């Protein structure tokens, strides 16, 4: 289950950013995950929930996780067509070419983090 390793890295980055901002709570984490990473959305959610129960990730205890799965998209080097496809069928639908470049679908990024920063009193 490489999703636990992925989410550990995400959580480490989220906690660091939240602390740097002076936040006392993380409210929402939004991710983009490419289907070509072979990460499973449900497993990512499970890992997020499990990790947020750990003391070191307590700032994320009640945070909402938003995951946007990004479909694979390629560009054909022979005819220039750009097209979406599944993980296994990458041939160009326009010319049948096999010289293609994956231009989307490998993403694994934190799009945004919403935090609660206490008011100065």
- Please state the residue numbers annotated as binding site for Zn(2+): 76, 79, 92, 95
Dihedral angle, C-alpha 117, 120, 53, 42, nearest 10 °:
-10
Alpha helices by DSSP H, 2-114: 2-20, 41-52
Interatomic CA distance for residues 61 and 56, integer angstroms: 10
The answer to whether the CB of 50 falls within 8 A of the CB of 60 is no
Nearest to 30 by CA among 78, 80, 64, 70: 64
Please enumerate, by residue number, every residue annotated as part of a binding site: 2, 76, 79, 92, 95
Question: Which residues does the annotation place in the binding site for Ni(2+)?
Answer: 2
């Amino acid at each position: 289950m490489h999703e636990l390793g992925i989410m550990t890295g995400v959580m480490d980055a989220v906690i660091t950013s939240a602390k740097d901002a002076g936040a006392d709570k993380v409210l929402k984490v939004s991710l983009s995950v490419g289907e070509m990473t072979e990460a499973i959305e449900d497993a990512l959610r499970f890992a997020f929930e499990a990790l947020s129960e750990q003391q070191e990730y307590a700032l994320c205890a009640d945070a909402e996780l938003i995951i946007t799965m990004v479909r694979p998209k390629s560009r054909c080097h022979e005819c220039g067509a750009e097209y979406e496809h599944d993980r296994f069928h990458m041939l160009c639908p326009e010319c049948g070419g096999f010289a293609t470049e994956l231009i989307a679908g490998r993403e694994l990024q934190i799009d945004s983090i919403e935090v609660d920063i206490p008011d100065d009193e």
